[in-house]
Structure 1
Amino acid sequence: MSDHPAPWRDSWTEGDESPFAGRESSAPEPEYRTLTYEVTGRIARITFNRPERGNAITVDTPIDLAAAVERADLDPRVHVIVVSGRGTGFCGGYDLSIFAENGGRPDDTVDDLTGTAVDPVVQANNHDPSGTWDPMLDYAMMSRFNRGFSSLLHANKPTVAKLHGFCVAGGTDIALYADQIICADDTKIGYPPTRVWGVPAAGMWAHRLGDARAKRLLLTGDCLSGKQAEEWGLAVESCPADQLDERTEALLERIAMMPVNQLMMVKLAMNSALLAQGTATSQMISTVFDGISRHTREGYAFQQRAADVGFREVVKERDEAFGDHGLPGKP
């Protein structure tokens, strides 16, 4: 791109006057437990990498995501950040089977988090229906998840979420923080846990869709297809699944043509209006209510049923009554 006759399209690292001239990065390449990271040209690519679990969220996910976003934000070569998922879908939400089926004790260890507020065993103890629930210990955990996910919103550079297959429950907590969403027509997008045992902790639905349409989804737990998400203004573009890669690359390349400083100024200006709507307050209230929803009589019954028959089966029971288990909703 630096050979283009228009010098105003140069990157921060391009041209003789670049403040980064002669300053090649020697930082080691970090490894992530839940995602992969690479830079191609002016695009940073973050890809969730737990396809065998539907890219379900673990305690490592927000830490990895925030670190990768910060890495891209500081890299002067990067103009735009795209987040996607490997396998059959973007993200199926939290790996709630850890809590709902086996008392919060994952198969693998989390030694670096042991004894902290996000230690799954600590949280399992706090979620024992026979004991006393401390809502602020719950909040201490969930707010950390949101803080990591919201790095997509608070990054200086633009972020794009590329959705395919499914983006449900906690997966939407991630995607709705991105500046732009592009998706396949048949993507399933929504928050079915509002039917029992969940409130969208990110609190972004009303800010992205407006009050009435957000309530239309969350008061029923219904989902949108990718095509409907475009029609409702949640996604900037939807296309057939076999065209998603091509259409996403076209969007990314157009954004990447812009100078980094212009992208930053535009994003910060637009964010000033969005943040003034009270996104921080929405996030705090929604996170507290998400914890409460798992400690109601119905929430405890759902948790106990999951322990008895397995989390997949109890989700099937929850959604079959609405006629949309495993299918895009039709609100």
Structure 2
Amino acid sequence: MQYESILFENTGGIAVITLNRPDKLNSFTVAMHLEVRDALERIKADAGVRVLLLTGAGRGFCAGQDLSDRAVKPGDGAVDLGESIEKYYGPLVQTLRSLPFPVICAVNGVAAGAGANIPLACDIVLAARSASFVEVFCKLGLLPDTGGTYFLPRLVGTARTMGLAMLGNKLSAEQAEQWGLIWKCVDDDKLQTEARAMAQHFASAPTKGLAHTKAAIYQSPANTLTEQLALERDSMRALGYSRDYKEGVTAFLEKRAPLFTGE
């Protein structure tokens, strides 16, 4: 597929998807959805990928849905917004959450609507100090989609979620860090450098162990303690047979840096 709405890199175990409609604050069209989906399918099919970095071009990360896109533009007839969620936003969130390696999101500017919730589907979120998160849905008579009603209460609690969702006020990157919505707020000029350095770290980390870690953490809220302990047992059993575990122990005993292969 020829990409016109995104930039895609895949080298050295690091895949990078950059939303690339800066003149529209990287808002989503159906065409962009299809391009992102294609890139993600390529990533899933490549056993050499060990980390994904998602970011945006220009002064914004993503302004959500492009309301001028003909596929969803309000016109004379009613628009089935549920179809858009079912076909595009839902599968995007599910794919990001289920990738068997770390997913980093570098929020380089405004993240609004669906663009505020896509980062929450990622494992680690870095945000530029000038970035902000805005749940603008209430201003259009809608509810926070793209996983917003799922992620927000789990990350910041019911009270703060209600305020964000029902008032639509802007949340600064610094406040988002203080609330635990994101991992870290960094200076604008250091965002991409830090995000790339983190991606490089994960590209040489024990990928299978990290995959089990994220899967266990995401499953935890739905499990009882007994169920979670059983999950930990099964994961540890599987990881104990991995080459990376053997290498980690050997490197520790030999007092050297480990050379993980992700196997």
Pairwise TM-score range, normalised by the shorter structure: 0.7 to 0.9
Q: Does residue 1:49 correspond to 2:20, yes or no? A: yes
Match of 2:56 in 1: 85
Q: Does residue 1:147 correspond to 2:67, yes or no? A: no
What pairs up with 1:36-185 in 2 under 5 angstroms?
Answer: 36-98=7-69, 106=70, 119-120=71-72, 124=75, 126-127=77-78, 137-150=80-93, 151-185=95-129
Contact 1:69–1:155 at 8 Å: present in 2 too?
Answer: no
Match of 1:250 in 2: 197
Match of 1:195 in 2: 139
Q: Whole-Å Cα distance in 1 between the matches of residues 191 and 222 of structure 2?
A: 30
Q: Whole-Å Cα distance in 1 between the matches of residues 32 and 223 of structure 2?
A: 28
One-letter code aligned to 1:173: N
One-letter code aligned to 2:128: A
Q: Whole-Å Cα distance in 1 between the matches of residues 18 and 222 of structure 2?
A: 27
What is the aligned counterpart of 1:186 among 127, 130, 135? 130
* 3-state DSSP of counterpart to 2:29: coil
Q: Whole-Å Cα distance in 2 between the matches of residues 53 and 195 of structure 1?
A: 19
What pairs up with 1:263-302 in 2 under 5 angstroms?
Answer: 263-273=210-220
Match of 2:163 in 1: 216
Deviation at 1:59, TM superposition (A): 1.3
Q: 1:271 to 1:63 in 2, by over 3 A?
A: farther
Cα distance per residue 1:228-262 (max 9 Å; x no partner):
11111111111110111222122222222212222
Q: Let me know the Cα RMSD of the aligned residues.
A: 2.2
TM-score using structure 2 length = 0.76
Deviation at 1:210, TM superposition (A): 2.0
If asked which structure has higher relative contact order (CA below 8 Å, sep 6+), I would say 1
Contact 1:54–1:87 at 8 Å: present in 2 too?
Answer: yes
Cα distance per residue 1:4-46 (max 9 Å; x no partner):
xxxxxxxxxxxxxxxxxxxxxxxxxx32342121113121000
Q: 1:267 to 1:211 in 2, by over 3 A?
A: same
One-letter code aligned to 2:184: E
Q: Whole-Å Cα distance in 1 between the matches of residues 215 and 165 of structure 2?
A: 29
Q: Whole-Å Cα distance in 2 between the matches of residues 141 and 241 of structure 1?
A: 33
* 3-state DSSP of counterpart to 2:115: helix
One-letter code aligned to 2:82: Y
Q: Whole-Å Cα distance in 1 between the matches of residues 168 and 85 of structure 2?
A: 21
What pairs up with 1:16-31 in 2 under 5 angstroms?
Answer: 30-31=1-2
One-letter code aligned to 2:68: S
Contact 2:131–2:173 at 8 Å: present in 1 too?
Answer: yes
Q: Whole-Å Cα distance in 2 between the matches of residues 97 and 244 of structure 1?
A: 30
Deviation at 1:188, TM superposition (A): 1.4
Deviation at 1:275, TM superposition (A): 6.3
Contact 2:25–2:60 at 8 Å: present in 1 too?
Answer: yes
Q: Whole-Å Cα distance in 2 between the matches of residues 270 and 276 of structure 1?
A: 10
Match of 1:229 in 2: 176
Deviation at 1:58, TM superposition (A): 0.6
TM-score using structure 1 length = 0.61
Deviation at 1:120, TM superposition (A): 4.1
Contact 1:34–1:61 at 8 Å: present in 2 too?
Answer: yes
Q: Whole-Å Cα distance in 1 between the matches of residues 222 and 123 of structure 2?
A: 13
Contact 1:162–1:248 at 8 Å: present in 2 too?
Answer: yes
Contact 2:126–2:182 at 8 Å: present in 1 too?
Answer: yes
Deviation at 1:79, TM superposition (A): 0.7
Identity of aligned residues (%): 27
Deviation at 1:169, TM superposition (A): 1.1
Q: Whole-Å Cα distance in 2 between the matches of residues 270 and 64 of structure 1?
A: 29
Unaligned runs of at least 5 residues, structure 1: 1-29, 99-105, 107-118, 128-132, 278-331
Could you say which structure has the higher helix fraction?
2
Could you say which structure has the higher strand fraction?
2
Deviation at 1:179, TM superposition (A): 1.3
Match of 1:320 in 2: none
